Structure 1
Amino acid sequence: MGNHEKLLFQILRGLSDANIDFDDLRGLLLYIGFEMRIKGSHHTFRKNGVAEKINLQRDGSKAKSYQVRQVRNIIQRYQLARDM
């Protein structure tokens, strides 16, 4: 199991939303096929076929926990885990 798969498993379990590294989450979204745009401190991700956009901000070196929950909901809603 690679790093992206381990991170995806950790996100989908939902037990450690406050301990997800921002750079790792950003890398996972790019790996799944999202396109990133940066404006100030906001990292915005879009993907064809996904209606919602994802906005991420750092909380130190971690991603904000409510944004990790949003990412989890989008991954589940659009079944993006099967693309890996």
Structure 2
Amino acid sequence: MDKKEIINKLTNNNKNIKYSYFCNIIESFGFVCKRQRGSHRIYSRIGISELINIQNVNGEVKPYQVKQFLYLVNKYNLEE
């Protein structure tokens, strides 16, 4: 699945996204896990000042965290 297909899938359904799957998606877009404490992971990427903070809630991520990731992808044109 290419990046545009992933973005479309996340845009159409940002609920019930598995935590491990979402971590893999974030990393495939060039983000690196900068820190992990408990159920929270913080991702960063060179050239982007914003951080992505996700948390594992019963094996899933919260929909607003998916929206924040999609916002950064659109803002910095990372789907190309």
Moved over 6 A (4+): none
- 2:17 corresponds to: 20
Q: TM-score with structure 2 length normalisation?
A: 0.85
- 1:53 corresponds to: 51
1: CA distance, partners of 2:75 / 2:4: 18
Size of the aligned set, in residue pairs, is: 79
Q: TM-score with structure 1 length normalisation?
A: 0.82
Percent of aligned pairs with the same amino acid: 25
Larger % of helix: which? 1
Structure 2 unaligned spans of 5+: none
2: CA distance, partners of 1:28 / 1:71: 10
- 1:9 corresponds to: 8
Structure 1 unaligned spans of 5+: none
Cα deviation code 1:20-72 (max 9, x no counterpart): 22111100111111110211211000001111000000121211111011011
Give 1:4 shift.
Answer: 5.9
